[in-house]
Structures are given as C-alpha cells and as structure tokens.
C-alpha cells in the first residue's frame, strides 16, 4: 500500500498537539508538504519546534471555529481538546470546536476536493454495555452530563461527516481513537498515563479513581499514526467509522503498579471517588482495521511506557 504523499499538500488541524505533532512528523517523512494549524489551547509550539525549519512545513495560528482558506489535497481534522480537564474547562467552546470545526473543514474539503479524515473518539461509545466495542455499537452516552460537550460534540461531527459523504459524495475517513499515549502528551492533561507517570516521577501519591478495577486499552502513538496514514491511503469508498486502538485491556491498578515499577517510584496509591459518567470498560474491536488496513498495534505497553517515562523525565529535568 503506497502512502502517495510525495508533493501532496496536507493540512493537519490541531497539528501542534500530542497526536498532531507526531502526524506532521510522519507526513513530512513520507514526502508531504504539511500545513499545521493550531490555536495553542492545548497544543504547544515546543511539540513542533524541531519541524519549523523544514522546507515543507508551514505553521498557522488558527482556530478551526473560523473558516480557513488554503489549497490542500488532504485534511486531517484533529483539532479539539481531548482530555476531561481541558475539554470541560470551556465546554461551550469544546462543542463549537467539534461542530463548527467540522463544518469549516468539511467546507474546505468540498471546495478543494480534498480527502478528509476526522479524528473521532471511543468516547462516542460512552459507558458501553457492549464489550469489546465494535463500530456498529451506537453507544451509551449521557447527553447532558459534564462529558457531553466532548462526547456529543464528536458524535455530531461524525453526523456531519457522513451527511457530507452522502449529500456531496465527499471522500471522508472517520476513525474512532481509543486511549493513546506517548511522548509529547501534555504533562497536566489529567489523563491516566500522564497523571501516573508525572506523579510517580515527582514522588506524589498516585491518584486512582474508584477501586481501580475499571479497564482501558492503551495504544502507543506511533501505532495509531500508522493506522491514520494507512486508512487515508486506502483506495476506494471506505468512509468508516474505523476503530483504532490496542485491544490489550488493563485495569487501572495494573497500570499504576506497572508505572511504579518502571519508574522505581515509591509513591503511595490513593483512591478517590469515580468521576461522573466515567466508563467502566473500554476496549476496541479492531477486526475491521486488521482486515481493511492489515493494521494492528505492535508496541507492547511496557515498551511504550518506558519511552513515555523517558520523555517526562527529560521534561522535568529541564523545567
């Protein structure tokens, strides 16, 4: 399967964020001309600092809730705060970013004829009553809860993408991302991997919500980006949605104990009440990704955590 990025102009919204910066790096490596757009709400210039002098990289400070007028061949729409701390900070703006951002990027794709990928989320499944989650599952989401700005915003974005696909025959790709981790995660995003690692490295108590029996599946960022690129390069009419994540399932207490072992930390584990609408189980069924893309995660959790710990250790040492 050829990625076919030689001399293609590719827009990455949210390109200075955790996932976006890794995607920009990969696209440049594959020969694309990359336009990175970010408003720096959660993205950081430091994430793409090493790309600024690349002759095929262009950085725009832009908020996707406003239209963007550029000429591109492909669009990866990643712009949206993705951790509860950040997306609940301004929930109205979070919904606007998902919905208005989708409308603006779909409009751009329609005008330019660009293929467009929407970074959706496993949060569209809510607190699932089906396990593992397949793409056919419609979800169990609280539409008026504190997480709804993100969950329902992403669900509405998917609606818009498929309506543009049906109404205008727009070439879309929709991926549902399950928990992803790796270097360049925001150190204070409140996600479980970054939380545990930062707490362990700074000798703070590990905050575990509930009894720690709730499960998540953790995909290393390089594996996820490979799935993005393969799906975008896939020939034919394949809109998705497509689950991308690691089907390996771990309890939160298992993750905490693994982080403590890998960091050599003696931090205590403190239990706190579960947040509202926190899913009890989360695990992707990736049968479709394996069949359509010949894709599966390759990096084991322990290896990925070691790389992520090294990144955060360097961040702390140089702060």
Q: Which residue has the tokens 């490295």?
A: 201
Q: What is the DSSP string of 247-290?
A: --EEEHHHHHHHHHHHHT--PPEEEEPPPTT--S---B--HHHH
Among candidate residues 184, 229, 185, 221, the one with its CA nearest the CA of residue 298: 221
Q: Which residues are catalytic?
A: 150
How far apart are the C-alpha atoms of 93 and 81, rounded to whole Å?
10
Give the count of beta carbons closer than 10 Å to the beta carbon of residue 317: 8
**Cβ-proximal residues to 126 (8 Å cutoff; 6+ apart), any chain:** 139, 140, 141, 142, 151, 277, 279
Give the count of beta carbons closer than 10 Å to the beta carbon of residue 203: 11
- List average pLDDT for each run of 10 residues in the chain, which is 319 residues long: 74 98 98 97 95 98 98 97 82 95 98 98 93 94 94 98 98 97 92 95 93 91 98 96 96 96 96 76 93 98 98 93
Tokens of 145: 């809860």
pLDDT at residue number 277: 62
Peptide bond into 241 cis (omega under 30): yes
Residue 94 and residue 28 in contact, taking contact as beta carbons nearer than 8 Å: no
pLDDT at residue number 210: 85
Q: Which fold has domain 9-181+219-247+281-298?
A: Rossmann fold (3.40.50)
168-182: buried (b, 16+ CB within 10 Å) or exposed (e) per residue?
eebbbbbbbbbbbbb
How far apart are the C-alpha atoms of 72 and 70, rounded to whole Å?
6
Orientation angle between helical segments 91-112 and 148-168, nearest 10 degrees: 20
Among candidate residues 272, 259, 240, the one with its CA nearest the CA of residue 302: 259
pLDDT at residue number 87: 80
How far apart are the C-alpha atoms of 127 and 113, rounded to whole Å?
37
């Amino acid at each position: 399967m050829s990625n076919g990025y030689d001399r293609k102009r590719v827009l990455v919204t949210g390109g200075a964020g955790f996932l976006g910066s890794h995607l920009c790096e990969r696209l440049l490596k594959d020969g694309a001309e990359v336009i990175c757009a970010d408003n720096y709400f959660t993205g950081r210039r430091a994430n793409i600092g090493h790309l600024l002098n690349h002759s095929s990289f262009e950085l725009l400070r832009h908020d996707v809730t406003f239209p963007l007028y550029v000429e591109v061949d492909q669009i990866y729409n990643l712009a949206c705060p993705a951790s509860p701390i950040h997306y609940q900070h301004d929930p109205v703006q979070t919904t606007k970013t998902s919905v208005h951002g989708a409308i603006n990027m779909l409009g751009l794709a329609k005008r330019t004829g660009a293929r467009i990928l929407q970074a959706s989320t496993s949060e569209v499944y809510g607190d699932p009553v089906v396990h593992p989650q397949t793409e056919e599952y419609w979800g169990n989401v609280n539409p008026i809860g504190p997480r709804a700005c993100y969950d329902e915003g992403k669900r509405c974005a998917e609606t818009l993408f498929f309506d543009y696909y049906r109404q205008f025959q727009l070439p879309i790709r929709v991926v549902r991302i399950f928990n992803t981790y790796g270097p360049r995660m925001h150190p204070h995003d409140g996600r479980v991997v970054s939380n545990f690692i930062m707490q362990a490295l700074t000798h703070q108590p590990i905050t575990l919500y509930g009894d720690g029996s709730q499960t998540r599946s953790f995909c290393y960022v390089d594996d996820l980006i490979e799935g993005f690129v393969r799906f975008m390069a896939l020939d034919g009419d394949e809109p998705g949605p497509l689950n991308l994540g690691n089907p390996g399932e771990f309890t939160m207490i298992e993750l905490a104990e693994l982080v403590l072992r890998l960091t050599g930390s003696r931090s205590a584990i403190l239990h706190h009440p579960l947040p509202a609408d926190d899913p009890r189980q989360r695990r992707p069924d990736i049968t479709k990704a394996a069949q359509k893309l010949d894709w599966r995660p390759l990096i084991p959790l322990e290896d990925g955590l070691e790389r992520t710990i090294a990144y955060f250790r360097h961040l702390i040492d140089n702060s």
